[in-house]
DNA sequence: TTGCTATTGCGTCTCATTCTCAATATGAGC
DNA sequence: GCTCATATTGAGAATGAGACGCAATAGCAA
């Protein structure tokens, strides 16, 4: 059971992405497969540069443009979600089975802590009902300084 | 009473900014005064381009660079707050006496609705306590489609 | 009025992201 | 397995927000 949990997850992701590619008449290229693998090989939040660096380290030469293009497809297929960490560039995280969590970001060291909350979801429903909005997505981050950065200043 | 509320508000803003300039050994220039006036002449959310356009329309020729520089001072003096409206550039709003509100943004027409909530504040305190973070600021927006954009699609 | 220096405007620079386009790779049909 | 239409890639140019350097200008204290 345990032994196969990782490969099972990989299969699920691979399957989702293949479905998506099929439905949209997109091809299963080396580049897309490698980017997918790399994205799902860790659970960190990542940006384009990090992903590029990780791929290059493995001698998987994929251009920056292709990473940007593939990330769009991963977002569109809901396999990946974009997160705002208060920096001036986009960060990403896995999306599958990881609903309803928000981010606490240390402005000093960049550490990211995830926290779950149902309150946010209830609040969103309440507000949208009041103003007759149909919600698409929300973005909530708390920026501050983490414990260790507080003491070292 | 009523009659003077607007000019009183203006005086308060002008006063705050003058204090700020004084405290930081900064000069009261034409450009800074005009930008301050323009910023406080409406209650809309605005970006740098809009501000530039509005100033040019009034023949108040101020460079883009000066607007960026002055906005930094307005942020620093807490007269203006930066808001994330899910676009790829910064938007701003008045800050004085307008604490604790969040934004609901229509992804179709760009309309912005403000809503107040104390829940967010409580939630923030709770989460920060749990993870030993010292909060600096938070950012919360709900993106969706407004009533009229829902019907016209 | 003078003179020190903060400030401005212009143009340039950076950085993230998108676009263009020629060369290449995929995969459906044979 | 081979062919061919076309989706995709990589390299580099383009874009757009914002920051920066510098010479010219303007505040303001004396």
Nucleotide showing the shortest C1' distance to residue B73 CA? C7
According to CATH, what is the number of the domain B1-98? 1.10.10.10
B104, B141 contact by CB (below 8 A): yes
Question: In this predicted structure, what is the pLDDT of residue A119?
Answer: 87
B96 band by pLDDT with thresholds 50, 70 and 90: confident
User: Would the CB atoms of B140 and A144 count as touching at under 8 Å?
Assistant: no
Q: List the domain boundaries for chain A.
A: 1-97, 99-153
In DSSP terms, which residues pair with A94 in a beta bridge?
A80
**Mean of pLDDT over chain B:** 90
DSSP state of B86: S
Angle (deg, nearest 10), helices B30-40 and B48-57:
110
In DSSP terms, which residues pair with A137 in a beta bridge?
B143
Percent of chain A with pLDDT over 70: 94
Give per-residue pLDDT as tens, B140-149.
Answer: 999 999 999 9
A38: distance to nearest CA of chain B, Å? 27
Question: In this predicted structure, what is the pLDDT of residue B144?
Answer: 94
- For residue B108, CA distances in Å to A72, A75, A104, B18, B92 come to 20, 19, 29, 40, 20
CA of A153 to C1' of D26 (A): 40
- Tokens describing residue A108: 């000093």
In CATH, what is the architecture of A1-97? Orthogonal Bundle (1.10)
CB contacts of A120 in chain B (<8 Å) are 123
CB contacts of B87 in chain A (<8 Å) are none
B119 band by pLDDT with thresholds 50, 70 and 90: confident
Question: In this predicted structure, what is the pLDDT of residue B8?
Answer: 67
Round to whole Å and give the CA distance between A34 and A41: 10
Catalogue the long-range contacts made by A119-127 (C-beta closer than 8 Å, 24 or more residues apart).
A119/B119, A119/B123, A120/B123, A123/B117, A123/B119, A123/B120, A124/B142, A127/B104, A127/B115, A127/B117, A127/B142
Would you say residue B137 has pLDDT above 70? Answer: yes
Q: Output the DSSP codes for B88-137.
A: SS-EEEE-TT--SEEEEEETTT--EEEEE-SHHHHHHHHHHHHTT-EEEE
> Among 1.10.150.530, 3.40.190.10, 3.30.1490.190, 3.40.630.30, what is the CATH number of B99-153?
3.30.1490.190
Choose the mutation target among B133, B136, B146, B148 for the interface with A, i.e. most A CBs under 10 Å: B133
Question: In this predicted structure, what is the pLDDT of residue B1?
Answer: 47
Give per-residue pLDDT as tens, B30-87.
Answer: 999 999 999 999 888 999 999 999 999 999 999 999 999 999 999 999 999 999 998 8
């Amino acid at each position: 059971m345990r032994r196969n949990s990782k490969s099972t997850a990989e299969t699920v992701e691979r399957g989702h992405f293949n479905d998506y590619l099929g439905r949209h008449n997109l091809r299963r290229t080396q580049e897309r497969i490698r980017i997918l693998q790399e994205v799902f090989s860790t659970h960190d939040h990542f940006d384009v540069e990090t992903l590029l660096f990780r791929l290059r380290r493995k001698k998987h030469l994929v251009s920056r443009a292709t990473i940007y293009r593939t990330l769009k497809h991963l977002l569109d297929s809901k396999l990946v979600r974009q997160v705002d960490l208060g920096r001036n560039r986009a960060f990403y995280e896995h999306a599958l089975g990881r609903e309803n969590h928000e981010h606490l970001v240390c402005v000093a060291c960049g550490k990211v802590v995830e926290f779950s909350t149902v309150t946010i979801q209830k609040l969103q429903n309440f507000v949208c009902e009041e103003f007759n909005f149909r919600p698409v997505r929300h973005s909530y981050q708390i920026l501050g300084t983490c414990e260790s950065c507080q003491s070292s200043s």
